[in-house]
Amino acid sequence: MTATLPAPSLKGQWIDDWRPEDREFWDTTGAPIARRNLIFSITSEHIGFSVWSLWSVLVLFLGPEYGIDPAGKFLLTAVPTLVGAALRIPYSFAVARFGGRNWTVFSAALLLIPSLLAAFLIRPGVDFSTLLIIAAVAGVGGGNFASSMTNINAYYPDRLKGWALGINAGGGNLGVAAVQLVGLFVLAVFGAGHPGLVAGIYIPLIVLAALGSALYMDNLAQARNEKRGMRDAVREPHTWVMSLLYIGTFGSFIGFGFAFGQVLQVQFADVFSTPVKAAYLTFLGPLLGSLIRPVGGALADRLGGAKVTFYNFIAMAVGASIVLLAAQMRSLPLYIVGFIALFVFSGVGNGSTYKMIPAIFKRKHPHDDHEARRLSGAVIGIAGAIGAFGGVLVNLAFRQSFLTTKEADAAYLGFIAFYALCVLVTWVVYLRPATARV
């Protein structure tokens, strides 16, 4: 039977008929529209991640004239992480309420506020409370991920979700590395006295991202039928299991991305005596972790998300153990190897855990595609929000460890224990013979 195809989409308008699981519809109509929306979703989300991660770079500019100790700098990176995590829940709701295209335009334009504040207000003599407020406002960039992932999840068929969500998230995650490269450029060319330039570079890019989203993205009418998804997802046990696992993967990625430069400067102060020396390395981990995220999704498509996630957490525990050993030996090369491994495996795990979510609900509702999409979209939003709180915990763990012992060893031991817990949970819930069907 020939599928009934919708009228061509008017850019920026609502699409009423969307059937990605229909192969003929997908091949003739759906794929080009989904690809176009994916491209501009990635662009906006990428810049959102950069703004969210802005303070992982800006703290490197806060020299002695600012009078802020390492504990205070860890607080400045924890605050935007916390705000961004909290915003992910309402941002997930916003896609169903306002439409994916409409919300992408608004959320992209909103990034102008923290960028303008950081560009013009950071200078010696500014009080710490003002810096905390500016850092908190940068948290709006963290919400973009949740709305972007919820939106793109609705565009793609189940067989391509791992790839599409991996590409979308990986492109967004690259914003962490990008802003650190921008920071390195400013430090190398203009010096540590111009932190506002880092934020200023993003102002025209934000305007372009908002305009591109307005001109080339679409809204899916079916998103309006996903109401009560969050309420139902909260009652679903898999929501909380996947949120725990995502704390271990994405929480590690964003937490280490925010903290890596500071940890290098504190733990190896003799080697990284200036901010620019630390900045030469800080971008590398987030860059590799972002690039490999789609690989995690693709591996999950081929091998199964739970299996990839299980072995990945074992690898993360090994990576954290290498970092702990290197810190005790004061071996910088081994330390960097361990941290790069943590970034890489957190990226793989980000892709595999997100692939697990739609697969779980497809298995639970094999004959109801709409119900599977409704619940998986809601769980993606919840897990994304709770997972981002892992970044807060990483920064607080480092802060408390340095405050208490002047070393980060206690934090590394905590990370190893948490990854071991994730290995156990993944096995018990998803890989035991009695539960492997799900």
Rank 24-38, 353-367, 390-404 by mean pLDDT and report only the highest.
24-38
Q: Is the pLDDT of residue 189 over 60?
A: yes
Q: What is the pLDDT of residues 372-397, one digit of tens each?
A: 877 887 887 788 888 888 888 898 89
pLDDT in tens, 336-362: 999 999 999 999 998 888 788 888 888
Report pTM.
0.80
When pLDDT is averaged across residues 405-411 and rounded to a whole number, the result is 87
- Assess contact for 81 and 391: CB atoms under 8 A: yes
| 225 vs 358, more confident | 358
Best mean pLDDT range from 81-95, 160-174, 206-220, 350-364: 206-220
Is the pLDDT at 245 greater than 90? The verdict is: yes
Average pLDDT over the chain reads: 87
